Structure 1
Amino acid sequence: MTKALRDFSGRMLLVGCGNMAGAMLDRWLAAGLDPARVAVVDPAAEPRDGVALHATLADWQAADGAADWVMLGMKPQQLGEVAEALAPVVTGDTHLLSILAGVSLADLAARFPAARAQARILPNLAARIGAGVSALASSGDADGDMLTAMLAALGQVVTLADDSSMDLITAFTGSGPAFVFRLIEAYAAAGERLGLSNEDSLTLAAATFGGATALLDASGEKPGTLVAQVASKGGTTQAGLDVLDEDGQLVALMTNVLRAARDRGRELADLARGEE
C-alpha cells in the first residue's frame, strides 16, 4: 500500500450514514482519517467528534459545499432526489463512491456524468472491525492508491473487472452476515430446545461458528477437508451431517435465500431508476 488514510488530504462527503456507511466511516476514522476532512449529510446520523453533520444537502452546501470524494450511502430509492441536488457539485475532480444496492456504474455515470471516477463498493458489516470483505468495480480516472487504502482498512478486497455480478455479491457478502447471524441464532435455539440454557447455548454457538471460520481461514484447507477431519464413519458428527445433506436440502435452502436477496436488489435498482 503506497498511501494510508492518514495521508488523505481531500474533502469527503457521505450522503447517508446508516449502519453500513457509519461502520465504514468509524473504521476509517480509527485508521487515521482526519475527521475535520469529513462531512455527513443525514438527519438521523449519530454525531462523531470532529465530523461536520448536516441535515440536508442544502445545509451542507450553505456551510461548505466542497468535496472531492463523495460516497452515496442512502437508500437506493433516494438516488433521483439526491442526484438532482448533488450533481451540480460533482465535477471533474470528484471521486464518486456508491454502496447503493442495485445501482450500477452505468446508473452512476448517467446521474453524475462529470465525475472524475465512479466506484461501486459492496462492503459488509464486519468492516466495522476491519474484518469485512468488499467487492469493488470502478470506472474513470480513480486515485487507485487512496481507494485501495480506504478499502484495505475495512478488510479483504475483491476487485472485479466490471459490476455485472454485483447484484449477487450484494446478496452473498453484503447480506451474508445477517444470514450467518440467523444461522447462529437457529443453532443456539436448537441447543436450547434440547436442554441447554439460553446463555450457554448462545455462547457455545457463537464460539463454535467463530472458531470454525477462523480455522478455515488459518488452515488454507477446503471446507470439505475440515469436515472430514471432524467426522468419522458411523460417528456422532456423521449422523448430524446425514440430516444436513439429505436430498441437497441445505444447498437448496441457501440458493433460495440468495436468489431472493439478489432479486430484491434488482427490484431496488428499478426503483432507483424510476421504473415500475
Structure 2
Amino acid sequence: MTNKVGSFAGRMLLVGCGNMAGAMLDRWLGAGLDPARVAIVDPAASPRAGVAQYASLAEWQAAGGTADWIMLGMKPQQLGEVAEELAPMVTGEVTLLSILAGVSLADLAARFPDARAQVRILPNLAARIGAGVSAVASLGAPDRAMIAALLDALGEVVALDDDMTMDLVTAFTGSGPAFVFRLIESYAAAGERLGLSSEEALKLANATFGGATALLSESGEKPGTLIAQVASKGGTTQAGLDVLDADGQLVALMTNVLRAARDRGRELADLARGEG
C-alpha cells in the first residue's frame, strides 16, 4: 500500500480541505505520498508539513501552481462559484476527483467538460485510519491503477458501474459513521440513566460496539448468526431484543434516517446546479 501511494508521480491540488478531504490527505501522506506533490487551496485548512497551502485559486496560479489531479473537497453549494474559476484550468491532461455529496458525474462533466476524466468518490471518515469505505464511479479514461492505489489506502473500495445510487451510498456509508457514533453515544447515555457513571458507560459502550463489529468482520458470519450465539430463549439478551424488534420499529427508524440523508443529498445537488 505504502509503495503504491508513494509511487504517485503527478501533482495534486485539493480545492477545499475540510474534515473528509483532510482525512483522505492525511492517510495518503501517512502511506507515503510525497507532500511536495500536493497543494491545498483552502485558507481554513490545517497546515501540513511540506504541503503548499493557498488562500485562493488565483494565489495558487500566481505562484505557478500546476496540477494533473484536482480533487474537489469544498461544500457542494460552492461548486458553481469554484467551477467558474477552476474550469479553464481543468484541461484534457487533468483527472478531476470529487467527493461532493449530491454532485453527479453528469454535473461534473457539464462543469468541467475538458477534463481527462471525472471521478466521483464517496469515502467516509474512517479513511483517516485506513478503515473506511469508498464508493467510486467515473467518466472518461482515468488512471485506474493510480486511483485504485489511492483508494485502497483508505480502506474498502466499492466500484460502481455508474453513480445512479450514489445519493443512497452517501447516506449509507458516508454519513453512516455519524449514525453509528450517535448509537454508541445513546447506548452510553442509557447506561448512565440506569446507574453507570458517564465514564464507565462510554468506555463500556465503545468496547461493546468495537468488539462486536470486529467479531462480525473477522468471523465472516451474518449478524443473525452471531445474535443467536449471544441470545438464549427467555434470557436477558432476548428480553432486550424483543424491545428492539417490536413492530419493526428499529428498521423503520433506520430507513427514515437513511431516507432523510439521501434526500438531503439530492437537495444539495439542486443547490449545486443553482436550482435550489
**What interval of TM-score do these two structures reach, taking the shorter chain for normalisation?**
over 0.9
CA distance 1:273–1:61, shift in 2 (3 Å): same
Q: Which residue of 2 aligns with 1:71?
A: 71
Q: Which residue of 1 aligns with 2:198?
A: 198
Aligned-pair CA distance for 1:228: 0.3
Matches within 5 A, 1:16-31: 16-31=16-31
Q: Which residue of 2 aligns with 1:103?
A: 103
Q: Which residue of 2 aligns with 1:183?
A: 183
Which amino acid in 1 is paired with 2:146?
Answer: M
Q: Which residue of 2 aligns with 1:166?
A: 166
Q: Which residue of 2 aligns with 1:272?
A: 272
Aligned partners of 1:243 and 1:146: how far apart in 2? 48
Q: Which runs of 4+ in 1 moved over 4 A?
A: none
Matches within 5 A, 1:24-63: 24-63=24-63
Which amino acid in 2 is paired with 1:92?
Answer: G
Aligned partners of 2:233 and 2:139: how far apart in 1? 52
Aligned-pair CA distance for 1:2: 12
Is this contact kept in 2: 1:2–1:145, CA < 8 A? Answer: no
Instruction: Extract unaligned runs of 5+ from structure 2.
Output: none
Normalising by the residue count of structure 1, what TM-score does the alignment of the two structures yield? 0.99
Aligned partners of 1:133 and 1:185: how far apart in 2? 22
SS of residue paired to 2:25: helix
Q: Which residue of 2 aligns with 1:240?
A: 240
Is this contact kept in 1: 2:122–2:134, CA < 8 A? Answer: yes
Aligned partners of 1:258 and 1:161: how far apart in 2? 22
Which amino acid in 2 is paired with 1:161?
Answer: D
SS of residue paired to 1:39: strand
SS of residue paired to 2:97: strand
SS of residue paired to 2:228: helix
Which amino acid in 2 is paired with 1:64?
Answer: G
Is this contact kept in 2: 1:3–1:146, CA < 8 A? Answer: no
Query: Over aligned residues, Cα RMSD in angstroms?
Result: 1.0
Question: How far does the alpha carbon of each residue in 1:132-177 deviate from its partner, in whole angstroms, 9 at most, with x for none?
Answer: 0000001111000000000000000000010000000000000000
The percent of aligned pairs where both chains have the same amino acid is: 82
Instruction: Extract unaligned runs of 5+ from structure 1.
Output: none
Aligned partners of 2:94 and 2:64: how far apart in 1? 15
Aligned partners of 2:28 and 2:6: how far apart in 1? 9
Q: Which residue of 1 aligns with 2:216?
A: 216
May I ask how many residue pairs the two structures share in their alignment?
Answer: 276
Aligned-pair CA distance for 1:64: 2.1
Aligned partners of 1:218 and 1:77: how far apart in 2? 40
